[in-house]
Amino acid sequence: MKLVQSAVLAAAFTLGLCFVPPGSAQPAAQKSLYERLGGLKGITMVVDDFINRLVANKTLNKNPAIDAGRKSSPAPYLKFQVAQLVCETTGGPCKYTGKSMKDSHAHLNISEKEWDVMAKEFKKSLDKFKVPADEQKELFDIVGKTKADIVVRK
């Protein structure tokens, strides 16, 4: 399910749990989003929850292309790809090696409604792990840049 990669981007496609406590040596404004999200540990915890939500989502599963995509890209693979992507796009040391968002989602026939469902599931995961509003906004700004490559129908 490549939808998750966007979500996590778009993800996505996600994160942040082990935040640096206030009063640490480096001000939060100077820290990368990756660091403010708790690094790879924080990112993988949110991505794991997020992908689990997407895979179980009944609205998304009604799309035959997404359902078929889940069979060719199982959840553990998606979790790895999305975590790698979020790590890189937030300033972490990871290198995303997957396909472009356009190439990985073109065959999924994703609608505007399905994009919105994905975004709501992503928000639930971020809220569950108490990702602060500023970091959530930055993540959604990143994910939003991928929408034109992912949504192909109204």
**How sure is the predictor about 70, in pLDDT bands with cuts at 50, 70 and 90?**
confident
Instruction: Using alpha carbons, select from 74, 68, 54 the residue that is nearest to residue 109.
Output: 68
What's the CATH superfamily of 3-153? Globins (1.10.490.10)
Predicted pLDDT of residue 64 = 96
Q: Residue 9: pLDDT above 50?
A: no
Average of per-residue pLDDT across 55-67: 95
pLDDT tens for 91-121 read 999 999 999 999 999 999 999 999 999 999 9
Quickly state the pLDDT bin for 25 (edges 50, 70, 90): very low
Helix ranges restricted to H, 25-111: 33-36, 39-56, 58-61, 64-72, 75-89, 101-105
